[in-house]
Amino acid sequence: MADGDGTRLQLYVARSGAASRRAAEGLIAEGRVAVNGLTVTERGTRVLPGDSVLLDGKPLEPERRLAYVALNKPPGFICTSSDPRGRPLALDLLPKTGERLYGVGRLDFMSCGLILFTNDGNFAASLGHPSSGVEKEYTVEATGHVSDEFIYAFGEGVEIDGEYYRAKSVRRTGSRVVRVVLIEGRNREIRRVFSHFRLHPLRLRRIRIGPVLLGTLAEGESRPLSPAEVEALVEGRNRMPGDSGAAPKAPPVSGGTRPSARASREAKPKKELTW
């Protein structure tokens, strides 16, 4: 078969909705994919029209309809497609539409907020790569006062157990509350940096992925991305046309009465520091 013929196997697996392109490469290397009855472990293999492709013995066919969904994940849900410990899956919160979706990136079990799901392997691989430049913005409420030292260190870069962590920006919005913008977003990065400074996130919520805002989407609810949002993510843009660039507003606090002037003064956060 000529090199230019057919579709690369990892791309075919990704387009089937079984995994992202990067994860598909792992499935192939593990010997879980067969083409025309033969197990294939080389990524360069190409699939021709009419070829039979099996994953763990089950047929794969490319998805005809691509889906892109935003979910407001509550705490206590895991973002993988299965869990041997039987914990609740964020995937089960999505409407059943027939497409096989998987999460783009990750959000810790006890973290909450915005996460994207798709069956488009190219989209997932592109968005998950640091070179995409797509920002992820979080609000974090800590157990104690967030010091200037923390703001400066996370903004400049800090080494923890041989790993280097650096936020694109860190902005304190209250004595115990910060907004953090990451590009690469390593596993449990925010929690590790907080722990390094003897802090613990009481609530960690992702409020933005590139131009896609969490907005007023309720916990456990989802919505499809607009074509404009998908296009902006693919192009690595972090704002939609016409956006002012201002930070997303926090959801309004419901109930209660207007605080007194004295209470307002006492609740006023210390001077904001941005890095």
Longest Cα–Cα distance in the chain = 78
The CATH number given to whatever domain includes residue 212 is: 3.30.2350.10
Catalytic residue, from 83, 108, 120, 148: name it: 108
Q: What is the pTM of this model?
A: 0.70
Q: Would 1 be classed as within a structural domain?
A: no
Domain count within the chain: 2
pLDDT in tens, 123-162: 888 887 777 889 999 999 999 999 999 999 999 999 999 9
CA distance 225 to 12: 23
- Which among 43, 59, 75 is the end of a domain? 59
Residue by residue, pLDDT tens for the chain (275 residues) are: 334 567 888 888 887 878 877 788 889 999 999 999 999 998 778 888 889 999 999 998 776 688 999 999 999 999 988 889 999 999 999 998 878 888 988 899 999 999 999 988 888 888 877 778 899 999 999 999 999 999 999 999 999 999 999 999 999 999 999 999 998 767 789 999 999 999 989 999 999 999 999 999 999 999 999 999 998 998 888 887 666 555 555 444 333 333 333 433 344 444 445 55
Range of the domain at 12: 7-59
Reported as a single tens digit per residue, the pLDDT across 179-197 is 999 987 677 899 999 999 9
Instruction: For residue 41, give the CATH number of its domain.
Output: 3.10.290.10
Residue 72's nearest CA partner among 238, 255, 251 is 251
Q: Which pLDDT does position 225 carry in this prediction? A: 95
Both 17 and 130 in one domain: the answer is no
Contact 248, 214 (CB under 8 A): yes
Domain assignment present for 30: yes
Residues 75 and 40 in one domain: no
Contact between residue 201 and residue 109 where contact means Cβ atoms under 8 Å apart? no
Catalytic site includes residue 108:
yes
* C-beta neighbour count of 162 within 10 angstroms: 5
Q: What's the confidence (pLDDT) of residue 242?
A: 63
The amino acid present at 264, given as its one-letter code, is S
Look at residue 167 and tell me if it is in a domain.
yes
**Quick one: 25 and 140 in the same domain?**
no
Do 44 and 154 lie in one domain? The reply is no
- The DSSP result for 124-164, as a single string, is HHHHHSGGG---EEEEEEESS---HHHHHHHHH-EEETTEE
